[in-house]
Amino acid sequence: MKKVALLFVLSVLIFTCKEEGKIIDSEMPKVEQESPVTSIKEELDKANNLNINYDEDAQFSIVIHGGAGTILKKNMTPEKEAEYRAKLEEAIRKGYEVLKNGGTSLDAVTKAINVMENSPLFNAGKGAVFTHEETNEMDASIMDGKTLNAGASAGTTNVKNPIDLARAVMDDSPHVMLSGKGAEIFAAENGLEIVDPSYFYTDRRFNALQKIKATEKTELDHDDKQAFYDSDIKNSKFGTVGCAALDKYGNLAAGTSTGGMTNKRWGRIGDAPIIGSGTYANNATCAVSSTGWGEYFIRAQVAHDISAMMEYKGVSLEEAAREVIHNKMGKLGGTGGIVAVDKNGNMVFEFNTEGMYRASMNDKGNLKVEIYEKN
């Protein structure tokens, strides 16, 4: 009988504890548990600033330029032409691999431009031209077509890769453009590679400056006879490198980098670091990088105007680029060109000079490298 009574008491106690537990549990606030997979994916999307509709098989494309001007085959040795073609291919393939492996258009643009900045062949980074004071002052810009965020730098003398500085301004500051010493301080504080200004010295660029000084000419001279004997002098105002790309996420980006104009004075800044002139990207339309006589590209707002014509008039990228380069800017007296990609991956090279160093690749791996107006 005692055992039965004891079992009854234990049963009552157990039942009471369970009920109290339910009451306590019901009074506690509910905390919803996030799916670890969902949380990680969201963080990756935020970190990479990507659209979540990633498609492994989506189309992508990339175009680059290394400057436009009086580039004639008769003035180019076979060895020098091969050198240019090899470096253009190296640069375009660097950006292509980023896109192929699922990287962003911003990264592809940055990496492709880095290759050209590190080469003495082009007027950007290592190959930058000299100012009247015999220094090298570099400009660059980059723009994200998804967010319309942008970054630029102007007049720097010791940042090895100006496009990296432009990217840092966009990503790590509340500003769009920094210039001169302030930009250099910002670059150093953000861990970018700083070099002695002598790094940018090349005999070719320095000698071109001396020839201009000796003849009391400036880079605005259009003496065709002089250009025949030294095309470097004639063409240094066109020297710029740039890239436009569409990635698998459907995002566009563009970037441009330059050493500016040989014999420039008074802190002159051209179109390369000006958003809307030298660089523009908008996912609704296209991404554009310019090269040419900067003053005219600024006055005509070339890169943005191409996008605006597509958006407001509904014309194709090819039509818009042709109208802006040959008619709008051309009628002002401007010379140069652009490379561009639209939101569907269509690529365009458009220029009104006798040549433009350029290359392109699409998602199928089709490579095109060209230099002259007629290849």
Q: So which residues are the catalytic ones? A: 240
Rounded-to-integer distance, Cα 369 and Cα 316, Å: 23
Q: What is the DSSP letter of 130?
A: P
Q: What is the DSSP letter of 129?
A: P
Question: What distance lies between CA 47 and its chain's CA centroid?
Answer: 19
Exposure letters 153-179 (e unless 16+ CB within 10 A, then b): bbbbbbbbbbbbbbbbbbeeeeebbbb
Q: Are 253 and 99 in contact (CB under 8 A)?
A: no
Q: Are 250 and 283 in contact (CB under 8 A)?
A: yes
Rounded-to-integer distance, Cα 175 and Cα 141, Å: 12
C-alpha distance from residue 373 to each of 290, 346, 349, 357 (Å) = 17, 20, 10, 10
Q: Is 77 exposed, middle or buried (0-12, 13-18, 19+ CB in 10 A)?
A: exposed
**The dihedral formed by the CA atoms of 322, 327, 329 and 334, expressed in degrees to the nearest 10:** 100
DSSP states along 22-42: HHHHHHSPP-PPPPHHHHHHH
Backbone φ, ψ for residue 191 (5° rounding):
80, 15
Q: Are 170 and 302 in contact (CB under 8 A)?
A: no
Rounded-to-integer distance, Cα 182 and Cα 169, Å: 11
Residue 328 tokens, joined: 């709008």
Q: Are 271 and 338 in contact (CB under 8 A)?
A: no
Rounded-to-integer distance, Cα 241 and Cα 219, Å: 18
Q: What is the DSSP letter of 128?
A: P
Rounded-to-integer distance, Cα 180 and Cα 43, Å: 36
Residue 131 tokens, joined: 């100012």
